[in-house]
């Protein structure tokens, strides 16, 4: 993760992962993240409390993936991944 811009309520950065690497994203109450893959393949999953994986996504290139529910998400690179990540921190407008 390379940060380009960090404000009080927003972060914008590049998501760069080698094959097999993972990136953990934690969304707080009132927050959200948007991921856009520009190259490569990744899987995004989120575990429900005390249960097995409750969400499993495979993002398409160039299409945004909105992570809006609070919780911990795991992004696993199936190939070398290059993308963008925008994070809105909860508690503001």
pLDDT given at position 80: 96
pLDDT given at position 3: 78
pLDDT given at position 79: 94
Cα–Cα separations (whole angstroms), residue 12 to 1, 3, 53 = 10, 6, 27
pLDDT given at position 38: 97
pLDDT given at position 57: 87
pTM: 0.82
Q: Can you list the residues of the chain whose pLDDT is less than 70?
A: 1, 48-54, 91-93
Nearest-CA neighbor of 91 among 73, 75, 70, 65?
70
């Amino acid at each position: 993760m390379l940060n380009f811009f960090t404000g009080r309520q927003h972060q914008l950065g590049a998501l760069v992962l080698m094959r097999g690497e993972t990136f953990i994203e934690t969304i707080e109450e009132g927050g959200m993240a948007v991921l856009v893959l520009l190259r490569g393949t990744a899987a995004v999953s989120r575990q429900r409390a005390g249960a097995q994986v409750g969400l499993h996504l495979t993002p398409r290139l160039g299409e945004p993936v909105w992570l809006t529910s609070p919780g911990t998400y795991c992004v696993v690179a199936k190939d070398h991944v290059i993308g963008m990540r925008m994070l809105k921190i909860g508690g503001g407008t």
